Structures are given as C-alpha cells and as structure tokens.
Amino acid sequence: MDVQSFFEQAKSTLNLPKTTPLQSAYQFGSEADELAQLVLTGTKTATTSAYDLYEADEPLPKVGAYDVILDAHDQPVCVTRTDQVMITPYLDITATHAYLEGEGDRTYAYWRHVHDVFFEQEYQSAHQLFDPQTAQMVLERFHVVYPAH
C-alpha cells in the first residue's frame, strides 16, 4: 500500500479530520526493518537526527504531527504522533533518551557507539565533519497511533 493511502486509512480509523496533514514518511537508519518493528512494538519511542544536516527547505519535526514509518522496501509499517521535539548538543544526550531509542541492549554505551559511527557516515555523505563536541541534534519522542496489523 502506498504511504498516502495508508495514512488516509489511519485517519479514517482514528477519526482524525480529513485535513490532518502527514508530516513525513521515513525509514530509520541502516536497519530499517528491525527499527520499524521496534517502533511497532512500542520498544522504540525516540529518535535522534542531526540538526546540522537539515536543509533550509526541510522543516523540523513538530509536536502533534503524524509520520509514517517505512520498512526497508518503503512500505508503511505504522503511523506515529510526535510527543516532544528538542534541539540539544550531541554530548548532552542522556541515558534515558538512549534507552527510549530501544536499540541493542538499550544502554548509553551501546547507543553512543552506534550513533558515533552512524553520524560520522551521515556527516561524511553531506561532505561535513561530525564533531561530537559541537554537533547539535534533534531529539524526538513519539508513540504509535496506528499499527499496520
């Protein structure tokens, strides 16, 4: 099912106004299928993106907005609603946020290791240098409002 049809179905099921907009549809990182399943089960309720890499025409996420989470084949898995958005220095990200991201053993050490590697690659692909000392991050908290089942 395509993203827009999936979102229309979710709006109908949730009795949302027909004019409710879709903020975005996206995959999570390099493990899109695994991370989408963590979202679907409620294990993953947070994410981190690089504020420094947002384009001028790319809006920041907004509290109360709806997103469609996609699997590795760009198929809709679920709809989430954004609960919180914060911009914070990379080094100020807490163990609580790392736990809410739901990945690996959910420790800060695991989160930091995989995100150091991830952000180094993300910045490099944008021809920038990732510096944990100065990098600004967008932290989002969300919850599933419409499962694909």
The DSSP output letter for 131 is -
17 has pLDDT over 90: yes
Q: Where are the domains of the chain?
A: 3-147
Q: How crowded is residue 28: how many other Cβ atoms within 10 Å of its Cβ?
A: 21
Q: Beta strand pairing status for 22-26 and 66-70?
A: parallel
Tokens of 102: 């739901």
Separation between Cα atoms, residue 67 and residue 62, nearest integer Å: 10
Homologous superfamily of the 3-147 domain (CATH): Sulfate adenylyltransferase (3.10.400.10)
pLDDT over threshold 90, residue 149: no
Does the pLDDT value for residue 148 go beyond 90? Answer: no
Residues in the chain: 149
What is the per-residue pLDDT for 59?
85
Write the DSSP string, 8-21: HHHHHHHT--TTPP
CA separation (Å) from 41 to 17, 30, 78? 26, 19, 10
What is the per-residue pLDDT across 55-109, written as a single tens digit (0 to 9) for each? Answer: 877 789 999 999 999 999 999 999 999 999 999 999 999 999 999 999 999 999 9
Tell me the three state secondary structure of residue 122.
helix
**What's residue 1's pLDDT?**
86
